[in-house]
Amino acid sequence: FGHLELAGWSIALSGVADIMDGRVSRATGKTSVYGDFIDSTLDRYIEAAMFIGMVYFYGSKGPGAMLAIAALASSLIVSYARARGEVHGVNCTGGLMQRGERLALLSLLLLAGRAIDHLMHRPAGTVLMIGVAVIAATSLYTAIYRTVWIARELRRQDKP
């Protein structure tokens, strides 16, 4: 709804909460398959909500909305490739733009973007749009990297 700084703080706080709940559960020995499933699934909902919010901010068409959709699709494929690899016993966490990096960059862009746009005499959302383009491109690279790496590893394992 145009409250970019509030969105930035919300993303930052949700990231801190996500990190803390995992650390607390591991420290207290209360990890579970259920908790892992819920945590990773809720992470996808949060990411989807962030990028859907950007589509709303930029309007349903135009470069900002399209970049937000590309960032959403790429980020979901990054997570999906990792999850599918793990199902088959292959763990791949590599790449340029993982969830933590996406959250941190997006939060910073939301918090500082309006001020930077103002200093550079650009329309509101310009810096955010550039950052979302970077997230989309590097997430796509990460998704492709993981897909290729996991596929090679699975093919290697299939050979007698």
Instruction: Give the residue numbers annotated as catalytic, written as ranges.
Output: 43
Task: For 71-83, give the secondary structure using H, E and C.
Answer: HHHHHHHHHHHHH
- What percentage of the chain's residues is helix, strand, coil (to nearest 5)? 80, 0, 20
- Say how far apart CA 71 and CA 102 lie, in whole Å: 9
Q: Residue 28 has which token pair?
A: 């207290």
The CB density around residue 59, as the number of other CB atoms within 10 Å, is 9
Q: Any idea what DSSP says for residue 132?
A: H
Assess contact for 132 and 62: CB atoms under 8 A: no
- Say how far apart CA 100 and CA 37 lie, in whole Å: 18
